[in-house]
Amino acid sequence: MKKAIIIGPKSKKSDPISIAQINPFYQFRSSLKKELGLSFEHFHAVSISEIENVIDQRFEADTFFVRPQWSEKPKDLERIMKKMRDVYPNSQIFLIDPFDQTSSRFFSVLPYVTRLIKYICLKDKSLYIEDFIGGNFCTDKLVNEMGYNLNGWHVGSQVPDGYENHIVPGWYALCPKLKKQILTPFPPRFLRARRKDIDVFSHVSCGNRIETEWYGLYRQAAIDVLNNLKHDYNLSINADYIGEPRISRLQYQAFLRRSKIAFSPLGWGEITMRSYEAVLNKCLLIQPNVDHVIVEPNIFIPYETYIPVEWDYRDLEEKCRYYLNNPREANQIVENAYTKFKEYFISKKFVARIGELLAI
């Protein structure tokens, strides 16, 4: 039996994204043991000092998965990962990167880990050696092609020479609630009663209206385009700013369930949980083209599981109108995406991915 040690947040009071990234180990615990012969222990650690305390226990383990907080200083993390490699020279060490972007501030640890796992990863690994404006592909594209001003915003770091192929895709942060919903069939009477009376849905956080950053401006631009549909269709859309009225989380979920189309903009990175929520609620997902990334579950197959639009939104209104006027075509894409999402859990692709990593 192989043994893995997971070092990262464990408390329910911790950052929910970090908990969701670690949660699949628990969801598939029995399958990991049965199919891969892998057992694991999870040690709660949030700060650098807590991670270091776990490292110092000198476990007999084949594999380590370390999930730090995004707010840690890169130099501090580099120091303890170097120490970890010295303490465990023959063990596999995987760093679960916390950043939403395809980039990371932690690439300096690459010489000390077996692989750095990204939940959103660039398909073309050679792009990781590029000096992107803002540190990543997304911000560089917005600046160079659409003239956005980042005002010094930067999330990225230099990849040490020859280590770009050590940046690998892992799995998107998936909470137990999503798994339960996707695997629990809707009762027939519920499906019959489920009305889709909202044509287009998009409620997006834009930050502070007084000092709106680039991502807020970019999201506001999408809402402005969608507003062109208001005279012909029933919309539930809004750019939400701090301190201004917005719908509640319960209303968000209720309106999403009633929607035919859900537009999901970029977040800090190319993909957000909104995309998965849209598919889960059987909405047609429309969002900026993400052909350049790898992500699992992969619900981003153009015109098969989602509808890509240009990053400047020039075709957003047109595509909304087209699929609202062609419901049969839209519904087929909706079903494809839902099936693809469901397959991820049924076929235990998380377990398969861990198996691939262990084989490195």
State pLDDT tens for residues 7-32: 999 877 777 888 889 999 999 999 99
CATH number for the domain that contains residue 216: 3.40.50.2000
What is the band of 188 on the pLDDT scale with cuts at 50, 70, 90? low
* Residue where the block lists tokens 């989380």: 249
- Same domain for 352 and 341? no
Interstrand relation of 167-169 and 115-118 (parallel, antiparallel or unpaired): parallel
Task: Let me know whether 156 and 302 are in one domain.
Answer: no
pLDDT digits (tens, 9 = 90+) for 216-257: 999 999 999 999 999 999 999 999 999 998 999 899 999 999
The verdict on 198 and 340 lying in the same domain is: yes
DSSP β-bridge partners for residue 261: 200, 284
- Asked whether residue 253 falls in the same domain as residue 320, the answer is yes
Alpha helix (H) ranges present in the chain?
A: 16-27, 29-36, 48-55, 74-87, 137-146, 176-183, 188-193, 214-226, 249-257, 273-280, 316-325, 327-346, 349-358
- In the chain, the percentage of residues whose pLDDT exceeds 70 is 94
Indicate if the pLDDT at residue 116 is higher than 70. yes
- Same-domain pairing of 161 and 187: no
Task: Say if CB 356 and CB 38 are below 8 A apart.
Answer: no
* 113 lies in the same domain as 193: no
C-alpha 5/C-alpha 7 separation (Å) is 6
Q: Based on the structure, what is the number of domains in the chain? A: 2
348 in helix, strand or coil?
coil
Its domain, for residue 64, covers 2-174+348-358
Residue 175's pLDDT is 64
Length of the chain counted residue by residue:
360
**138 to 118, 126, 130, 158: CA distances (angstroms):** 15, 16, 12, 16
pLDDT in tens, 61-114: 999 999 999 999 999 999 999 999 999 999 999 999 999 999 999 999 999 999
My answer on whether 226 and 314 are in the same domain is yes
On whether the CB atoms of residues 118 and 169 are closer than 8 A, the answer is yes
Q: Is there a single domain that holds both residue 115 and residue 22?
A: yes
For residues 287-294, average pLDDT = 97
- Arithmetic mean of pLDDT, 132-151: 96
d(CA 8, CA 230): 46
Work out the percent of the chain whose per-residue pLDDT is above 90.
Answer: 84
> Rounded CA gap, 239 and 220, in Å?
6
- Residue 178 has what pLDDT? 66
Residues 291 and 150 in one domain: no
CATH of the domain at 116: 3.40.50.2300
Both 119 and 247 in one domain: the answer is: no
Q: Are residues 16 and 150 in the same domain?
A: yes
Is the pLDDT confidence value at 187 over 60? no
Are residues 242 and 304 both part of a single domain? yes
